Amino acid sequence: NVFDVNAKDNSGKLSFNKIVPTHYGAILAALPLNLSDAKIVLAGGQLGLLHETLALRAIYNHKPKPIIHNFGDSEKNTAILESFHRYREPNGCYLAHLSAYMFWDHLWTQKRRKDVSEDFAFKTENSSSNSGDALEWKPVGSWKWTPELEEEHVQWCKLHDINPTAVRSIAEIVENTMNALFLSEFEPEWLRCVDPTPIWKRPRDWKGHLPDGRNMLYRVYGSNDSNFL
Q: What per-residue confidence (pLDDT) applies to 229?
A: 53
How far is it, in rounded angstroms, from Cα 26 to Cα 105?
30
Task: Write the pLDDT tens digit of every residue in 165-192.
Answer: 999 999 999 999 999 998 867 778 899 8
How far is it, in rounded angstroms, from Cα 84 to Cα 78?
10
How far is it, in rounded angstroms, from Cα 153 to Cα 122?
22
Q: What per-residue confidence (pLDDT) applies to 3?
A: 46
Q: What's the pTM value of the predicted model, to 2 decimals?
A: 0.80
Q: Is the alpha carbon torsion for 146, 151, 156, 157 positive or negative? A: positive
How far is it, in rounded angstroms, from Cα 98 to Cα 100?
5
Hey, which bits of the chain come out as E strands? 2-8, 14-21
CB 188, CB 27: distance < 8 Å: yes
| Helix ranges, 74-162 (H) | 74-84, 93-129, 147-159
- Tens-binned pLDDT, residue by residue, of the chain (229 aa): 544 444 444 555 555 555 666 888 888 988 999 999 999 999 999 999 999 999 999 999 999 999 999 999 999 999 999 999 988 777 889 999 999 999 999 999 888 776 655 554 444 455 555 555 544 444 444 467 889 999 999 999 999 999 999 999 999 999 999 999 988 677 788 998 999 999 999 999 998 877 678 999 999 998 755 555 5
Average per-residue pLDDT in the chain? 82
Max CA separation in the chain (angstroms): 80
How far is it, in rounded angstroms, from Cα 160 to Cα 201?
18
Q: What per-residue confidence (pLDDT) applies to 145?
A: 83
